[in-house]
Amino acid sequence: MPRLLALLVVIPGAACGASTAATTRAPVPAAVPAPAGGRPSSRGLAYLCAAHRMRLQPRMALKVSFFSRLLPVFASLNGSLHDLSDDYLFSAHMVQHLLLTLAVPPLLLLGVPGYMLSGPLSRRFVRPAARFFTRAPIAFVVFNLAIAVWHLPPFYNAAMANHNIHILEHLMFMVAAVLMWWPLLSQVPELPRLAYPGQMLYAFLMSIPMSIVAVYIAMSDHVLYPAYAAAPRVLPLSPLEDQLLGALIMWIPGGIIFYIIMTVVFFKWNARGEDSTAGAQVDWKPSTA
């Protein structure tokens, strides 16, 4: 497997089933397309195929930059964290959910340059749907509704009992999180970011619903998710204490992240000195007037 991965990095054409004959290479853009869906391995393979089909040979630094963005996906869905989340600790599951919603989606959005999306967005039915779901109010509702509903005991317990439902839960989290991050990190002017004042308000409001869900879990006087009550104890915590710890992880780090976003947005706003929507876009250029 390591040799195969090395081959895919060096020779993208080998994975795409396309000819590797010498062709005139187009200039390498600032960023190479980075697909945003599927398994981590399939995203990496699609990245290499996209570069090959566009007759681009990305520099090794660009390849390393893209593949490093997949590390949080591997960290959250594989290894010890995955095992602890699925079988032992509610608190570990909350760490996993924070990675899937607050770490992975922004990295993937930042890894997809706008020109990669121009083709799909030009399709007749895609652009109206994308324009609707990436609007800040809609993205706000979709994300927070997904978080709230999936943490209700009937839905959460169903996901714990059925692996396919669990996969659906995580996919919905990631899709909803991409929509949630879009008004802050959009890479295409057709589906613009909010103006900087709007971004600050959006980030502040986004911290509230997740806190409400966390308070609901933290204040419970009984175990809401029986799968963890029956699990072997791998930490010196009772199931109820583990549930409280998980709620605090959702509440405090989850809230702090949005305050960090507000801080970053404030300094970007100050640096550009623009209050308009155009001033917050990825393609903004300072006025020469």
Q: What percent of the chain shows pLDDT beyond 70?
A: 75
The reported pLDDT for the residue numbered 70 is: 77
Name which residue leads in pLDDT, 288 or 201: 201
Tell which wins on pLDDT, 168 or 57: 168
Task: Reply yes or no on whether the pLDDT at 7 is more than 50.
Answer: no
What are the residue ranges spanned by the domains of the chain? 69-280
pLDDT, average across residues 162-179: 95
Q: What is the pLDDT of residue 90?
A: 96
Q: What is the mean pLDDT of residues 127-141?
A: 95
Q: Is the pLDDT of residue 2 over 80?
A: no
Nearest to 33 by CA among 17, 52, 8, 18: 52
Confidence of residue 134 (pLDDT cuts 50, 70, 90): very high
* Residue partners of 59: CB distance under 8 A and separation at least 6: 28
Check whether 72 has a pLDDT greater than 90.
no
To 10 degrees, what angle do helices 136-150 and 126-133 make? Answer: 70
Provide the mean pLDDT of the chain. Answer: 80
Backbone angles phi, psi at 3, to 5 degrees: -65, -40
Reply yes or no on whether the pLDDT at 28 is more than 70.
Answer: no
Mean pLDDT of 110-130: 81
Query: With helix as H, strand as E and coil as C, how does the chain read?
Result: CHHHHHHHHHCHHHHHCCCCCCCCCCCCCCCCCCCCCCCHHHHHHHHHHHHHHCCCCCCHHHHHHHHHCCHHHHHHHCHHHHHHHHHCCHHHHHHHHHHHHHHHHHHHHHCCCHHHHHHHHCCCCHHHHHHHHCCHHHHHHHHHHHHHHHCCHHHHHHHHHCHHHHHHHHHHHHHHHHHHHHHHHCCCCCCCCCCHHHHHHHHHHHHHHHHHHHHHHHCCCCCCCHHHHCCCCCCCCCHHHHHHHHHHHHHHHHHHHHHHHHHHHHHHHHHHCCCCCHHHCCCCCCCCC
Query: Residue 213 corresponds to which tokens in the numbers above?
Result: 């869900």
Phi, psi of 277 (to 5 degrees): -65, -40
Residue 189: HSE in the Cβ half-sphere, 13 Å Cα cutoff = 9
Q: What is the pLDDT at residue 288?
A: 64
In the chain, the percentage of residues whose pLDDT exceeds 90 is: 52
Question: How large is the average pLDDT for residues 148-173?
Answer: 96
Task: Kindly tell me the burial class for residue 87, based on how many C-beta atoms sit within 10 Å of its own C-beta (0-12, 13-18, 19 or more).
Answer: middle
How far is residue 241's CA from residue 146's CA, in Å, rounded to a whole number? 25
Residue 252 pLDDT more than 70?
Answer: yes
